[in-house]
């Protein structure tokens, strides 16, 4: 054993001086801690890079100087964003002594967004977008068309490769940025085209009069988005063919420091479908502007409801979840200096925005509902129904769900629980039928794995009422075993298992059952999906064997030859139509053993796309649902809702 003296590996107080303080200069902090600036270094962070550059172009559009924005995914993996705005200034910056272009791309907190005379509103917060993208790129090149000339500057990992140079003449204006993300920073440098198409479409809705174009050099695809109707058109497309319970509303008004533009409509389905934006930047977690709108709606419904003596004494007052049940809304505000939660801009913080939006929305609601009492009555009926459902869910929790393991209540009889105390490291497998349940119970590790068999296809919770759902025995077993409660009462602190794993057969029926379960979780236990507690098991589809050699295959495209079997050998191929066809040892080795199995985490990435998927699969259009399941059941490897 080697001893360690005071001078090797340990710094004592006497040795600790100024030389030990590391000063990160320029863009070094970005490369050292990229997560602080782009959130993550996975595919989300990768696409955030594009968004930062596009945001700069959108800011030019919001200022009235840009009408076209094009994003191109190049064959070499780089991305080019081009706009026809005014072009980044190229003259010498008085403070840095460098060109304004170099300053913007190499200095944190530098940019035109700090000058209110340049941008009254902008998506940028810290003025770090361009410089962060530069720092996290292997190479970045900027072309500026401005004042009749073309200017060019190149960077590598944030470091200028020479100064800015004039390379020609032009009759155009605008900025073109090409960057290649650094593979030493990101987990993988591979953009997802569908993600950018969705964002570009969204930006076109939010910026009427501006054309957004997407080009892929790899696939040859080219898409153009232009929506003159803005969020009014977007709302109509979001609602689609759903049963509409109210008119489509749209209003735009300016407060002291806030311009609000809002469109909303109530439909027959449940849950809140609100999208929100600040200066065209999506705020996935809402914030002050969303709270202002919902507060105004809650206030006016309670006020008029009491005036008309329409609110049931058992309800007394509506709550936020009541007035947003079945609400489709798009809330967008433009403000001078947005304050977000983090650089990734997930939630708006400016407190005054809530007050201004609340007043704007309240004035609109009051005028419309007083002049159109029939419109108020339609919306009131929906909200009143939601309130009654909330009370029913609360009653169900108090009567059915309170009997959990903590209070000594009786768990479902078919549940084979695990022996480990607490939920850390524990797993609940939800399986279809007693046959598969029997194999799973025998094959599991009972220390940390619990098994709950469900009989047949559970209730279609997309269409059923809360009372009918709570009366369904299979659903009650599921709720009691999980322990969190449902809807507004869903409490992850009471979650009995760390992982909830859906394990169904690898066929069409299995896909249908999995979809029904996911619908239930999405509608009634959504925090479990959002916090990453729900998974789908991946059982094998085939087993190839010859002699002592056995290979399990998890998709349809693999052949024996791909696993080293000769083409002319007498190979035994077994197709697993159901989990019950595997014995306990096989099920453990292929699907339940943490060291060998594959699990697919279920996530909620995009509310709009998830809503569309669930409407197709679980809505009233039976033909669309059957077509989707039959088309995709065998090809989908991971269901991302």
Q: Is the pLDDT of residue 407 over 50?
A: no
pLDDT of res. 3: 38
Residue 263 has, within 13 A of its CA and on its CB side, a CA count of 18
Reported as a pLDDT band with limits 50, 70 and 90, residue 426 is: very high
C-alpha–C-alpha distance, residues 358 and 347, integer Å: 17
Gyration radius (Cα) of the chain, Å: 29
Query: Is residue 221 annotated as part of the catalytic site, yes or no?
Result: no
Q: How far apart are CA 614 and CA 270, in angstroms?
A: 12
Closest to 350 in 3D by CA, of 408, 301, 292, 302:
292
| pLDDT for 628 | 54
Q: What does the alpha-carbon distance between residue 64 and residue 534 come to, in Å, rounded to a whole number?
A: 46
More confident residue, 111 or 417: 417
| Cα–Cα distance measured from residue 39 to residue 41, given in angstroms and rounded to the nearest whole number | 7
pLDDT for the residue 476:
84
**Tokens 């057969």 appear where?**
505
- Quick check: 72 pLDDT over 80? yes
509 is catalytic: yes
Q: Is 507 a catalytic residue?
A: yes
- Identify the residue with better confidence: 389 or 620: 389
User: What pTM does this model have?
Assistant: 0.61
On whether the CB atoms of residues 319 and 294 are closer than 8 A, the answer is no
pLDDT value of position 103: 87
Q: Report, as an integer, the average pLDDT of 88-102.
A: 87
* Half-sphere exposure for 146 (CA within 13 Å, toward CB): 20
Percent of the chain with pLDDT over 70: 81
- DSSP secondary structure of 20-76: G-----TTHHHHH-THHHHS-SSHHHHHHHHHHHHHHHHHHHHTT---EEEEEE-TT
Mean pLDDT within 41-53: 90
Token reading at 50: 């594009």
The mean predicted confidence, pLDDT, of the chain is: 82
pLDDT at 6 over 50: no
Residue 194: predicted pLDDT? 87
The sheet that has 249-254: what strands, in order across it?
249-254, 259-266, 327-334, 273-278, 281-282
What domains can be seen in the chain, in order of their start residue?
28-225 (3.30.565.10), 231-394 (3.30.230.10), 402-540+576-632 (3.40.50.670)
Decide if pLDDT at 176 tops 80: yes
How far apart are the C-alpha atoms of 185 and 300, rounded to whole Å?
Answer: 50
Which of 213-227, 282-296, 443-457 has the least mean pLDDT?
443-457
**What local confidence, expressed as pLDDT, does residue 336 receive?**
83
Q: Give dist(CA 155, CA 534) in Å, integer.
A: 43
What number is the average pLDDT over the span 187-204?
A: 90
Residue 43: pLDDT over 80: yes
How do residues 251-309 score in pLDDT, each as one tens digit?
999 988 999 999 999 998 888 899 999 988 889 889 999 999 999 999 999 999 999 88
List the catalytic residue out of 223, 272, 488, 509: 509
Least confident of 43-57, 155-169, 313-327, 549-563: 549-563
Q: Are 345 and 339 in contact (CB under 8 A)?
A: no
Residue 68, Cβ density class (10 Å: 0-12 exposed, 13-18 middle, ≥19 buried)? middle
Lowest mean pLDDT among 308-322, 331-345, 525-539, 602-616: 602-616
Q: Which range, of 179-188, 424-433, 450-459, 606-615, averages the lowest pLDDT? A: 606-615
Question: How large is the greatest C-alpha to C-alpha distance in the chain, in angstroms?
Answer: 87
Residue 132 has pLDDT above 50, yes or no: yes
Instruction: Work out the end-to-end distance of the chain between its first and last CA atoms, rounded to an integer number of angstroms.
Output: 54
Residue 401 pLDDT more than 60?
Answer: no
Instruction: Reduce the DSSP state of residue 86 to 3 states and report it.
Output: coil
Three-class HEC string of 245-260: CCCCEEEEEECCCCEE
pLDDT interval class at 501 (50, 70, 90): very high
How many Å separate Cα 151 from the centre of its chain? 38
- Higher per-residue confidence, 350 vs 550: 350
The per-residue pLDDT for 374 is: 93
Residue tagged 């902008």 (tokens): 122
Per annotation, catalytic residue among 102, 325, 358, 432:
432
Q: What share of the chain is helix, strand, coil (3-state, %, to 5)?
A: 40, 20, 40
Catalytic residue among 193, 223, 434, 507: 507
Q: Which of 83, 102, 358, 505 does the annotation list as catalytic?
A: 505
In the DSSP assignment, the letter for residue 621 is -
């Amino acid at each position: 054993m080697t001893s360690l003296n005071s001078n090797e590996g340990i710094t004592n107080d006497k040795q600790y001086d100024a030389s030990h303080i590391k000063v990160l200069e320029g863009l070094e902090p970005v490369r050292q801690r990229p997560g602080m600036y782009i959130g993550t270094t996975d595919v989300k962070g990768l696409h955030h890079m594009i968004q930062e550059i596009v945001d700069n172009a959108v800011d030019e559009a919001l200022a009235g100087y840009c009408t076209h924005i094009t994003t191109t995914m190049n064959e070499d993996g780089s991305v080019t964003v081009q706009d026809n705005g005014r072009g980044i200034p190229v003259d010498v910056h008085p403070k840095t002594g460098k060109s304004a272009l170099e300053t913007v791309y190499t200095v944190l907190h530098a940019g035109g967004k700090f000058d209110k005379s340049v941008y009254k509103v902008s998506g940028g917060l810290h003025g770090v977008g361009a410089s962060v993208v530069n720092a996290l790129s292997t190479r970045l090149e900027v072309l500026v068309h401005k004042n009749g000339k073309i200017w060019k500057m190149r960077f590598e990992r944030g470091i200028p490769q020479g100064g800015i140079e004039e390379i020609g003449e032009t009759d155009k204006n605008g900025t073109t940025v090409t960057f290649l993300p650094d593979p030493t920073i990101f987990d993988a440098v591979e953009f997802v085209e569908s993600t950018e198409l969705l964002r570009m479409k969204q930006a076109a809705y939010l910026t009427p009069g501006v054309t957004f174009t997407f080009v892929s050099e790899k696939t040859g695809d080219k898409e153009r988005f232009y929506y003159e109707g803005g969020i009014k058109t977007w709302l109509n497309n979001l609602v689609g063919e759903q049963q509409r319970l109210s008119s489509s509303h749209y209003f735009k008004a300016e407060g002291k420091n806030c311009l609000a533009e809002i469109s909303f409509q109530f439909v027959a389905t449940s849950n809140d479908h609100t999208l929100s934006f600040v200066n065209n930047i999506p705020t996935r977690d809402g914030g002050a502007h969303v709270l202002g709108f919902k507060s105004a709606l809650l206030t006016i419904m309670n006020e008029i409801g009491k005036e008309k003596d329409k609110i049931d004494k058992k309800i007394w007052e509506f709550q936020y979840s009541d007035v947003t049940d079945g609400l489709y809304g798009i809330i967008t505000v433009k403000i001078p200096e947005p304050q977000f939660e983090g650089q990734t801009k997930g939630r708006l913080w400016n407190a005054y925005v809530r007050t201004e939006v609340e007043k704007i929305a309240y004035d609109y609601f009051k005028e419309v509902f007083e002049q159109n009492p029939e419109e108020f009555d339609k919306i009131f009926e929906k909200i009143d129904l939601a309130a009654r459902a909330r009370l029913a869910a609360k009653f169900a929790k108090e009567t059915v769900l309170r009997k959990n393991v903590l209070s000594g209540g009786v768990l479902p009889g078919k549940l084979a629980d695990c022996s480990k105390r607490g939920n850390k490291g524990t797993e609940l497998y939800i399986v279809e039928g007693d046959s598969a349940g029997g194999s799973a119970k025998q094959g599991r590790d009972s220390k940390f794995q619990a098994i709950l068999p469900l009989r047949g296809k559970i209730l279609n919770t997309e269409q059923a009422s809360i009372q009918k759902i709570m009366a369904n025995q299979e659903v009650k077993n599921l709720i009691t075993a999980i322990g969190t409660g449902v809807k507004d009462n869903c409490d992850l602190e009471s979650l009995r298992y760390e992982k909830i794993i859906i394990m169904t057969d690898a066929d069409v029926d299995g896909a249908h059952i999995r979809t029904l379960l996911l619908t239930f979780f999405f509608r009634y236990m959504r925090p479990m999906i959002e916090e990453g507690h729900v998974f789908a098991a991946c059982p094998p589809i085939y087993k190839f064997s010859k002699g002592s050699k056995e290979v399990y295959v998890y998709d349809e495209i693999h052949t024996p030859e791909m696993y080293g079997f000769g083409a002319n050998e007498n190979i035994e191929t077994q197709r697993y139509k159901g989990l019950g066809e595997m014995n306990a040892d096989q099920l453990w080795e292929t699907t339940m053993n943490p060291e060998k199995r594959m699990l697919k985490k279920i996530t909620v990435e995009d509310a709009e796309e998830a809503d569309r998927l669930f409407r197709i699969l679980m809505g009233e259009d039976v033909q669309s649902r059957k077509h989707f399941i039959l088309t995709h059941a065998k090809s989908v490897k991971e269901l991302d809702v």
